[in-house]
């Protein structure tokens, strides 16, 4: 299975460009280009920065930007992000007898805590996942079917342990081979915090034997 690094390296070779030449065209350091082509994610910056790299490289090599970003979303490994649901409040409270001042301070603190708790809850929730095809109990007569659905744009999706390409709007598709013994399609969406949503579809293979 081709990775995004392999696609970039292959396109660069076809254009007969060295890493140094690509560095001049994109203003991206040769070291980062080399690590991206080698899929060395631990040595690359955070995901938003790598997205910028991929967009610049796609333009320089005349590659389909959306297609290349779909490979990036599939290949970039999840990273645990530190989250502190409680704000650090170091302000010294100066006593003021006026009730309006006290009420204002209390409401402000309550708003900050509520906002952070809302963000934390959104972070720890599993991704949204819908599967359009196949439907439950669908009769399958082809040896290869397309599994289609939708999830969060920043999530990754695997169908029967096979990675799927995800578009910017969260739609995904994966080609899956069907055998006589295949009874179930398992779709797993995983967020960047490692949370998972799983949908199972029972199918009925009725393949025509030659």
Domain ranges of the chain: 4-75, 78-124, 129-205
| pLDDT for position 181 | 81
Q: If DSSP codes are grouped into helix, strand and coil, which group holds residue 173?
A: strand
CATH of domain 4-75: 1.10.260.40
Nearest to 170 by CA among 154, 157, 153, 156: 153
Among 162-166, 167-171, 176-180, 198-202, name the one with the lowest average pLDDT.
Answer: 176-180
Of the candidate CATH numbers 2.60.40.1120, 2.60.40.10, 1.10.287.110, 3.30.70.260, the domain formed by 129-205 belongs to 2.60.40.10
Return all residues near 100 (Cβ < 8 A) that are at least 6 apart: none
How far the first Cα of the chain sits from its last, in Å, is: 29
Percent of the chain clearing pLDDT 70 (strictly above): 87
**91 band by pLDDT with thresholds 50, 70 and 90:** low
| pLDDT for position 77 | 84
71 and 5 Cβ atoms separated by less than 8 Å:
no
Q: Is the pLDDT of residue 197 over 90?
A: yes
User: Per mean pLDDT, which of 87-101, 112-126, 130-144 is the most reliable?
Assistant: 130-144
Q: Is the pLDDT of residue 145 over 80?
A: yes
Q: Is the pLDDT of residue 82 over 60?
A: no
């Amino acid at each position: 299975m081709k990775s995004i690094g392999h696609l970039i390296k292959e396109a660069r070779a076809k254009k007969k460009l060295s890493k140094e030449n690509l560095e001049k065209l994109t203003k991206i350091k040769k070291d980062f280009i080399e690590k991206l082509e080698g899929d060395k994610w631990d040595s690359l910056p955070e995901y938003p920065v790598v997205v910028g790299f991929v967009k610049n490289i796609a333009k320089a090599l005349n590659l389909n930007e959306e297609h290349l970003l779909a490979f990036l979303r599939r290949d970039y490994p999840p990273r645990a992000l530190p989250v502190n649901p409680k704000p650090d409040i170091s302000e010294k409270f100066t006593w003021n007898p006026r009730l309006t001042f006290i009420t204002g301070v209390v409401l402000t603190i309550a708003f900050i805590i509520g906002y952070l708790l809302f963000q934390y809850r959104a972070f720890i929730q599993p991704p949204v996942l819908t599967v359009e095809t196949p439907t439950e109990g669908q009769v399958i007569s082809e040896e290869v079917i397309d599994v289609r659905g939708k999830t969060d744009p920043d999530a990754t999706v695997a169908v029967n342990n096979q990675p799927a390409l995800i578009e910017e709007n969260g739609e995904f598709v994966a080609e899956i081979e069907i055998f006589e013994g295949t009874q179930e399609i398992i779709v797993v969406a995983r967020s960047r915090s490692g949370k998972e949503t799983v949908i199972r579809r029972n199918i009925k293979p009725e393949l025509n034997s030659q």
